[in-house]
Structure 1
Amino acid sequence: MSAVKSPIKDESALRTTGDALQGGLVDLIDLSLVAKQAHWNLIGPRFRSVHLQLDEVVALAREYMDQIAERAVAIGVNPDGRVRTVADNTKIRQPDSGYISDDKVVATLTDTLAQIIARFRERIEATEETDPVTQDLFITLTAGLEKQHWMFEVQTQ
């Protein structure tokens, strides 16, 4: 039972939009955790610059996970950010345990961001007709993710 009357009247459109928001929430929660794990275990000559860039990724993920969860509630969908839900549904490859070289962190984040961006671009398409407000949120978020991807990718050249 929804505590909020949804502005999206079509049940199929609401389900599509809710699924897109939930998938995005899982991606962002796990991105923040993967980036923090890398941040704590980073070693190598580019430690400082990569360490600071990882903080930017975490901040971006945390900002937008909150916006996505609040958007879900605003349309009458319960966001689920529980650890078990994220663990069961994440598509992000988990980093190795222990210390991680700066080169490996850069490569991992480049790949991880590319995969997440592809999923957000799918969500942009999925919500074009079902909810343009959610689509707009996804567009803005994807621009931020693409900027971070570019900043990591240029370090692999």
Structure 2
Amino acid sequence: MAELGNNAKAGLVTALNGALADTLALYMKTKNFHWHVAGPRFRDLHLLFDEQAAQLIGTVDAIGERVRKNDEYTLTSIGTIASQTRIKDQDDVTITADVMVAELRDGNMLLHKRLGEVKEAAEEVGDNATSGIVDDWIDQTEERIWFLNQTSK
């Protein structure tokens, strides 16, 4: 990796920590919906949400380690996650399955945008490792969006 200037490196780390915050918040929202979904599509959505939550939590450590490999600090608490995420909380456990699907689709779209910012920041500073791995995270996010779009038809 090329030697990073302080401003460029700060931009990459900010983008990575933002993606980390969004991923953790979206994971929690997805598990919330996994636990509370109800109705005739319960089984299918319960399983889909669980699969998607597992995929999200599976990327958390890799994102955090990219920050640390840049010799910077990751998010440290629920408070820092809340302050940096773009994913809105949903505490109403009585919303419909259709609303859950739409909220998860929209949340994944926000994460997709954030991951694009990570990709741009990584390429700007010549961090090929981060640029390459974020492609996989983007692909996973696009798959989740696709599944959520298809299930809402």
TM-score by length of 2: 0.91
Aligned to 1:64: 59
1:124 aligns with 2:151: no
Aligned to 2:145: 149
Contact 2:8 2:121 in 1 (8 A): no
Q: Percent identity?
A: 30
Contact 1:38 1:100 in 2 (8 A): no
How many Å separate the matches in 2 of 1:112 and 1:103?
14
Letter of the 2:116 counterpart? R
SS in structure 2 of the partner of residue 45 of structure 1: coil
- Distance verdict in 2 for CA 1:155–1:10, change over 3 Å: same
- Distance verdict in 2 for CA 1:9–1:123, change over 3 Å: closer
How many Å separate the matches in 1 of 2:114 and 2:13?
15
In the TM superposition, what are the counterparts of 1:73-88 in structure 2 within 5 Å? Answer: 73-88=68-83
How many Å separate the matches in 2 of 1:88 and 1:98?
23
Question: Which has the larger displacement, 63-72 or 81-90?
Answer: 81-90
State the Cα distance separating 1:8 from its structure 2 match.
3.9
Contact 2:31 2:53 in 1 (8 A): yes
After superposition, the C-alpha distances for 1:94-120 in whole angstroms (9 at most, x for unaligned) are: 224223322111111111111211221
In the TM superposition, what are the counterparts of 1:6-155 in structure 2 within 5 Å? Answer: 8-130=3-125, 131-155=127-151
Contact 1:8 1:14 in 2 (8 A): no
How many Å separate the matches in 2 of 1:73 and 1:22?
10
Q: Which runs of 5+ in 1 are unaligned?
A: 1-5
How many Å separate the matches in 2 of 1:57 and 1:81?
24
Q: Which runs of 5+ in 2 are unaligned?
A: none
Letter of the 1:21 counterpart? L
- Distance verdict in 2 for CA 1:128–1:30, change over 3 Å: same
